[in-house]
Structure 1
């Protein structure tokens, strides 16, 4: 298994989730600071959006507009450059917990997960459902009994959805049919005691996953073999591939303890490594 030493890209954030590379910038949600930021290729941040109900998952539709999770009120918001945030979909009558992360397929269908229970309030852990949001506003439940769905990505030319089930320590795959419905739920990787958070895919269909409880970032193949690992202090949160060649892995982490997190310390940072296999198409 290959290991690399990461390089600091940017710091002084609160809790960074859902990084995405787009238009030569790194977009990321600073969840506890209620902001969506974009960073230049040199790591200089600029605040783009304020999301009072906590931003989380990010993604781009085919027209270039940005979709942002507003977690606490269980909405998806849409942002066109130069305009204001507007409501895109209201899942408050569908999701049983705060919205979390999502993936977008080539037809602009959004597959979004939620906590499933009052995680912040200490409610007993429960499974939940995935929902698909279509461009025409249709919302449909597409999978149930999912254990804290977190990072998600569409691979195999739009034929497969992968979801990190954090507390179950696994990556789960689903087939996507032409209508956007999911079937053939199966285990992509059993990560044991590792708790996967945000994920991304490379051009070979391997998955890079931030591991929340160990502070690692691992590259894992279908079947569970780990080929590469990066060790950081604290908590591994999320990752994406980008940069000029698509071979820079951007990793968000919280360097410190859960007490530091609860105290609002600005210990979240972005680190990078260079990888051999670039981002998937």
Structure 2
């Protein structure tokens, strides 16, 4: 078992880790903050958005986009830290986001409110093109969660938490998706945030099973890192790209007054053998 170290502690519901430049960026949904931290744990708030979920991605030109789920918008952060609307998503309730190497942005949402105890209804994935067009490109994802794009821009992988699988889609140059398939059946795995490595394996974080798991296409488990609390998302980064950063917190349930135990949110790090590739 890989040993993990604590990079940052005392946070709330931490999600959406992204390595960019020489720092890790993550979202604290409880605080409505996007935070940047270096490997030593020195951190600063780089954006404040009162939204839950609050996920981010990096465009090829170096700008950050932020899902303002509450307002149904995709925001873009300028170099001076100001936020502007990048795309109008039409309605609230959006979840995760990933941008590929061509500047196409994928955003997903379910069609129910889990925090209100509603019965699950399948959701979908939309594409936001570089010129601002928004169109649906996939549907029938029961609980769409983490997403990743392979380094060659050829495959979008989507975590379906409630169907315990990773879905794969071929990506055309214009961002259109085709050839939907089960990329990996995860058994009892409940995938949340995901990332891809240089061998095209996927790491997924798992809240109820308190772990991060590396799987190959087809579902073969290559490695497991056990956690003492729910794993919400993970990303590969660091100088060599071989540090697996994990956002984790003490999960209390979707309909609890506090989704996670206050102050239980952590950013963890573990060294692995294969570096990250693709997006995020």
Q: TM above 0.5, one fold? A: yes
Whole-Å separation in 2 of the counterparts to 1:128 and 1:51: 24
**TM-score of the pair, normalised by structure 1:** 0.94
Mapping for residues 43-58 of structure 1, pairs under 5 Å: 43-54=41-52, 56-58=54-56
Tell me which stretches of 4 or more aligned residues in structure 1 moved more than 6 Å: none
1:20-39 matches, cutoff 5 A: 20-39=18-37
More deviation in 49-58 or 30-39? 49-58
From the superposition, tell whether residues 38 and 163 of structure 1 become closer, same or farther in structure 2 (CA, over 3 Å): same
* Residue in structure 2 matched with residue 188 of structure 1 by the alignment: 183
Report the Cα distance in structure 2 between the residues aligned to 1:161 and 1:262, rounded to whole angstroms: 29
2: CA distance, partners of 1:264 / 1:276:
32
Equivalent residue for 2:87? 89
**Post-superposition shift, 1:238?**
0.2
Once the two structures are superposed, residues 133-174 of structure 1 have per-residue CA deviations (whole angstroms, 9 ceiling, x without a partner) of: 011110111011111111000115001000000111100000
| Equivalent residue runs for 1:116-155 within 5 Å | 116-155=111-150
SS at match of 1:178: coil
Equivalent-residue separation in structure 2 for 1:180 and 1:241 (angstroms):
24
8 Å Cα contact 1:30/1:55 also seen in 2: no
State the alpha-carbon separation in 1 of the partners of residues 205 and 60 from structure 2: 26
In the TM superposition, what is the alpha-carbon distance from 1:52 to its structure 2 partner? 1.3
Alpha-carbon contact 1:255-1:269 (below 8 Å) kept: no
**Are the aligned partners of 2:195 and 2:203 in contact in 1 as well (CA < 8 Å)?**
yes
2:72 maps to which residue? 74
Which segments of 5 or more consecutive residues in structure 1 lack a partner in the other structure?
Answer: none
Alignment of 1:114-263 (within 5 A): 114-255=109-250, 257-258=252-253, 261-262=258-259
C-alpha RMSD of matched pairs (Å): 1.6
Conservation of the 8 A alpha-carbon contact between 1:194 and 1:212: no
The whole-number CA distance in structure 2 between the counterparts of 1:119 and 1:53 is 15
- CA-CA distance at 1:198 after TM superposition: 0.1
Alignment match, 1:272: 269
- List per-residue Cα deviations over 1:216-257 (Å, max 9, x = no partner): 100000010111101112211000000111010001111354
Q: How many residues align?
A: 276
Q: Does 1:4 align with 2:2?
A: yes
Normalised TM-score (structure 2): 0.94
SS at match of 1:32: coil
Listed as ranges, the gaps of 5+ residues in structure 2 are: none
